[in-house]
């Protein structure tokens, strides 16, 4: 008998293009690994009341890795039933939760051979969990991360984060099978007053740590100072001001990206630099 899915249902709020910033980053940074994979399967975990984010994820990942298949997983069976008419080649919707029930049928060979055995070849190369953990307690996050990371392929990636309703502001953590690696802050630059505006979109692991004495608070404070110092660049546009801000931060914080990503309104920092005190 099949076990009950692990987790609880989200509010289900979703909008077209809400996750475009996260998708764009995933395609750019993880696309090569998906392209190399023999079984490039991506999971959209907790896609919500409508299937738009899974449909868009498939299209965006296939620009980098054309053989990628996407599995949308929802804990609410009614949402799965509503998404079924949108299934197509490479896109499947299933009922489940944090156990990540990738159906063998999405693997090469239709569920036969090594991919169906649940070993490394049958694990997803990507799990995207956007706006899923905000309803959980901070103390539950580490266990969920461990559970999801254990389901990844050896070179897989978990991307977990939060954004606003229309995707203008987004912060996410990228994790490999070994655990968290980086934190990315992404925004529509034209709507930004200061970098700390992104604080309200920090993922659950960090949002309650935006207080004096915590690393993430220090980072956002320094980002605001660098943004203010870069005000002369505002006449050249918000993008140039953001790039100048990132360049200044790179002298104090371990940023993992460069101008190519900064131009997209992103800044990525090593997790160890923002790790909450005591964790």
Tell me if the pTM is above 0.85: yes
Q: What are phi and psi of 12, to 5 degrees?
A: 90, 0
- Type and span of the H or E element at 75: none
Q: For the chain, what are the domain ranges?
A: 20-177, 190-266
Which region among 8-12, 25-29, 255-259 has the lowest average model confidence (pLDDT)?
8-12
Please count the residues of the chain: 279
Query: From CA 132, how far away is CA 8, in angstroms rounded?
Result: 9
Tell me which residue of 169, 182, 65, 204 sits closest to 126, measured CA to CA. Answer: 65
Q: Over 60: is that where the pLDDT of 10 sits? A: yes
Q: What are phi and psi of 66, to 5 degrees?
A: -60, -20
> Taking the CB of residue 81, how many other CB atoms lie within 10 A of it?
12
151-171 average pLDDT score: 95
pLDDT at 108: 56
Helix (H, G, I), strand (E, B) or coil at 41: strand
pLDDT at 109: 47
pLDDT at 3: 74
Q: What is the DSSP string of 155-189?
A: T-EEEEEEE-TTSSEEEEEEEETTEEEEEEEEE-G
pLDDT at 7: 84
Q: For the domain covering 20-177, report its CATH number.
A: 3.40.50.150
**Token pair recorded at residue 61:** 């990942």
Q: b/e map of 148-158 (b: 16 or more CB within 10 Å)?
A: bbebbbeebbb
Q: Over 70: is that where the pLDDT of 111 sits? A: no
């Amino acid at each position: 008998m099949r076990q009950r899915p692990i987790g609880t249902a989200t509010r289900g709020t979703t909008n077209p293009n809400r996750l475009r910033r996260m998708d764009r980053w995933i395609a750019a940074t993880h696309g090569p690994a998906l392209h190399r994979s023999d079984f490039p399967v991506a999971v959209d975990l907790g896609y919500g009341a409508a299937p738009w984010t899974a449909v868009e994820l498939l299209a965006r990942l296939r620009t980098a890795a054309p053989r990628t298949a996407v599995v949308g997983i929802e804990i609410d069976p009614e949402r799965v039933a509503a998404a079924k008419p949108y299934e197509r080649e490479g896109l499947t919707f299933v009922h489940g939760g944090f156990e990540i029930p990738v159906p063998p049928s999405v693997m090469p060979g239709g569920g036969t051979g090594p991919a169906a055995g649940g070993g490394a070849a049958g694990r997803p190369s990507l799990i995207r969990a956007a706006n899923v953990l905000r309803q959980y307690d901070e103390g539950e996050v580490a266990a969920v991360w461990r559970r999801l990371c254990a389901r990844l392929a050896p070179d897989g990636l978990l991307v977990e984060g939060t954004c606003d309703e229309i995707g203008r502001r987004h912060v996410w953590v990228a994790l490999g099978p070994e655990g968290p690696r980086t934190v990315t802050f992404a925004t529509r630059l034209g709507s930004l007053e200061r970098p700390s505006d992104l604080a309200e979109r920090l993922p659950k692991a960090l949002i309650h740590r935006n207080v004096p004495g915590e690393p993430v608070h220090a980072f956002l404070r320094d980002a605001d100072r660098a943004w203010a110092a870069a005000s002369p660049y505002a006449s050249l546009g918000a993008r140039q001001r953001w790039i100048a801000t990132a360049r200044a931060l790179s002298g104090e914080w371990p940023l993992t990206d460069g101008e190519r990503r900064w131009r997209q309104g992103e800044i990525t920092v090593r997790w160890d630099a923002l790790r909450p005190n005591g964790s």
